[in-house]
């Protein structure tokens, strides 16, 4: 029996046993019959429905990649240039199937796109994921430089305050310094909180590399701004970026634990 002659029941049975989204999508797109049977099907939606917190992280991922900046863009670029995202063949639908895909409801198209992104992130966060910059130059001196720069800003704040400077921006810069320290601890392999499974992976090293670059950038911006004590809004903008850095690092680690079987906190 040729594949094109398979009855619907057999096609549904095969689809039900394909639990990985890329495999299921490739099977759905292999011919028009499968595409018609499995597109926008309730059982498919139920099996591959993503939880709300994962959908929120996927939104952040797509925004970062679209903007060409941020942690998710860095990770996806590092893995793509290393060939890490090309190890699995991507299905290429026929022209007829591809054109009809775009005619589906926006809701289904969003569902497919989110699952595509989810599969991409899963490959990106494999324990043996390949990153083009690995091994990153990660040494104790880099961490000390971060903490020393934070300490310099702390001493500068104290100096300004002792000479009657406007204190409105002081709590903001204090929060920035603490957030930066928390970001460093989050991806520090020597930190007591570091997950043992994540500790020696390429993923953690890549996260640490991004953290150092972002912290250096934020501290340079802060150094240029604190001489102008009336620029409170600019300092607050740096504060928001520091908080986003910490949140993104925590979210990626949460995803890594989800994919790799570590207990989530």
Average pLDDT by consecutive 10-residue portion of the chain (265 residues)?
88 94 95 93 93 93 93 91 47 45 72 93 90 74 65 66 64 84 88 88 93 87 64 85 96 93 55
pLDDT, position 1: 75
pLDDT, position 146: 65
Structural domain contains residue 131: no
Name the region of 243 (left: φ>0; alpha: ψ -120 to 50; beta: rest).
alpha
- Are 116 and 158 within one domain? no
pLDDT, position 160: 62
- Are 102 and 160 within one domain? no
Number of separate domains in the chain: 2
- What is d(CA 134, CA 176) in angstroms, rounded to the nearest whole number? 29
Question: If you write DSSP's letter for every residue of the chain in order, what string do you get?
Answer: --GGG--HHHHHHHHHT--SHHHHHHHHTSSHHHHHHHTT-HHHHHHTPPPHHHHHHHHHHHHHHHHT-SHHHHHHHHHHHTTTTSSSPPP---HHHHHHHTTS-HHHHHHHHHHHHHHHHHHHT-TT---TTPSP---HHHHHHHHHHHHHHHHHHHHHHHTT--GGGHHHHHHHHHHHHHHHHHT-TTSTTS-HHHHTSHHHHHHHHHHHHHHHHHHHHHHHHTTSTT-HHHHHHHHHHHHHHHHHHHHHHHHHHHHHTPPP-
Structural domain contains residue 109: yes
Structural domain contains residue 135: no
| Residue 254 belongs to domain spanning | 140-260
- Are 91 and 176 within one domain? no
- What is d(CA 264, CA 254) in angstroms, rounded to the nearest whole number? 6
pLDDT, position 164: 58
pLDDT, position 165: 59
Structural domain contains residue 78: no
Cis before 135? omega within 30? yes
Structural domain contains residue 164: yes
- Are 119 and 152 within one domain? no
- Are 255 and 145 within one domain? yes
Structural domain contains residue 207: yes
pLDDT, position 124: 92
CA distances from 247 to 160, 171, 175 (A): 30, 20, 14
Q: What is the pTM of this model?
A: 0.78
* 7-39 core/surface letters (b: 16 or more CB in 10 A; e: else): eeeebeeebeebeebbebbbbbbbbeebbeebb
- Are 17 and 113 within one domain? yes
Q: With contact defined as beta carbons under 8 Å apart, do 88 and 22 qualify?
A: yes
Structural domain contains residue 244: yes
Structural domain contains residue 79: no
- Are 10 and 36 within one domain? yes
- Block residue for tokens 């860095």: 74
Which residue, among 140, 144, 169, has the nearest Cα to 157 in the 3D structure?
A: 169
The two structure tokens encoding residue 26: 């490739």
- Are 64 and 18 within one domain? yes
- Block residue for tokens 């720069």: 149
- Are 147 and 46 within one domain? no
């Amino acid at each position: 029996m040729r594949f094109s002659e398979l009855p619907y029941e057999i096609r549904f049975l095969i689809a039900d046993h394909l639990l990985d989204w890329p495999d299921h999508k490739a099977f759905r797109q292999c011919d028009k019959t499968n595409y018609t049977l499995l597109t926008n099907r309730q059982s498919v939606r139920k099996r591959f429905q993503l939880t709300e917190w994962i959908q929120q992280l996927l939104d952040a991922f797509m925004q970062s990649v679209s903007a060409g900046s941020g942690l998710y863009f860095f990770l996806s670029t590092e893995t793509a240039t290393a060939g890490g995202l090309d190890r699995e063949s991507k299905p290429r639908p026929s022209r007829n199937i591809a054109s009809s895909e775009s005619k589906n409801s926006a809701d289904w198209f969003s569902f497919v796109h989110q699952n595509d992104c989810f599969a991409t992130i899963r490959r990106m966060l494999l324990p043996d994921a390949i990153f083009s910059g690995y091994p990153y130059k990660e040494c104790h001196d880099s961490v000390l430089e971060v903490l020393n720069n934070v300490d310099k800003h702390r001493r500068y704040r104290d100096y300004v305050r002792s000479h009657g400077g406007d204190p409105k921006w002081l709590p903001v810069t204090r929060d920035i310094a603490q957030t930066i320290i928390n970001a460093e601890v989050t991806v520090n392999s020597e930190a007591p909180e570091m997950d043992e499974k994540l500790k020696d992976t390429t993923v953690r090293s890549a996260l640490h590399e991004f953290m150092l670059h972002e912290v250096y950038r934020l501290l340079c911006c802060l150094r240029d701004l604190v001489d102008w004590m009336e620029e409170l809004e600019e300092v607050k903008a740096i504060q928001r970026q520091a908080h986003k850095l910490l949140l993104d690092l925590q979210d990626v680690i949460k995803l890594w634990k989800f994919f790799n079987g570590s207990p989530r906190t």
